[in-house]
Amino acid sequence: MTKYLIIDDEYIAHDIIKGYCDMLPDMQLMKHCYDALEAFEYLNKNKVDLIFLDLNMPKLKGFEFLKALSSPPKVIVTTAYKEYALEGYELNISDYILKPFSFERFLKAVNKAIKVSEKPQTNTVITNIPSESTDKSIFLRSNKKHTQVIVDKILYIEAAGNYTKVVTEEETITVRDKISELIELLPKDSFLKVHKSFAVAIKHINNIEGNRINISKYQIPIGQTYKNDVNKLYGN
């Protein structure tokens, strides 16, 4: 369950964000805060996983509030002012979205903010990769609908022109996103880019033979520039 806080002085902004969050699983609103001081008081006694933060608020501006937090949670900035984006990323925010924003853009920001926590890369032998499911999921937009996909069921993703194919244990979903954008949503310790057009789920690799990776019934090519990264999987 992702516990979140909305900090915005506009009531309509609260309604939009909560409405979008209500369409997603495992999102729990903890408090509506209409200025940063109210939020600061709440966070002194409570913890949340995610903040939706407006910038132009009375009493205390959004970034001033963020700088005052000793250990801030993940933050998605929601604002009408694009000129502060660079400062936001310097403060290590998860995403910066401009009002008015669509559900699709909002969804992309949430996916990015609550993706599976990254762990340090190690030269782990493939046979030692844990197989238990984490049940983490992301939403993919295809054919005007949003499909929830469990990350552990993704076998590989493939760039296909202006689209990307996400191949799971049950189906193939084609989305209009760049492969680089999808890789950003996936845990880096579980997925490896093996070709300019392919990234594979390490736990689903059956074997590696020459310049091919076998996953289920699929054969994935290994690009020459990615060969060293693949070799590290089995200690070479």
Domain range annotation of the chain:
2-113, 126-234
Contact 53, 7 (CB under 8 A): yes
Please list the helix, strand and coil fractions of the chain in percent, rounded to the nearest 5, in that order. Answer: 30, 30, 35
Nearest 5°: the CA angle 221, 134, 167 is 30
The pLDDT value recorded for residue 72 is 87
The strand pairing partners of 222, in sequence order, are none
What is the model's pTM? 0.55
pLDDT in tens, 181-214: 888 888 888 899 999 999 999 999 999 888 999 9
In the chain, which stretches have pLDDT less than 70?
Answer: 116-135, 235-236
The pLDDT value recorded for residue 236 is 57
Superfamily of domain 2-113: Response regulator (3.40.50.2300)
The pLDDT value recorded for residue 84 is 77
User: What is the C-alpha to C-alpha distance for residues 124 and 117, in angstroms, rounded to an integer?
Assistant: 18
The pLDDT value recorded for residue 18 is 94
The pLDDT value recorded for residue 129 is 34
The pLDDT value recorded for residue 235 is 65
Domain 126-234, second-level architecture:
Beta Barrel (2.40)
Tokens of residue 56, six digits = 């132009």
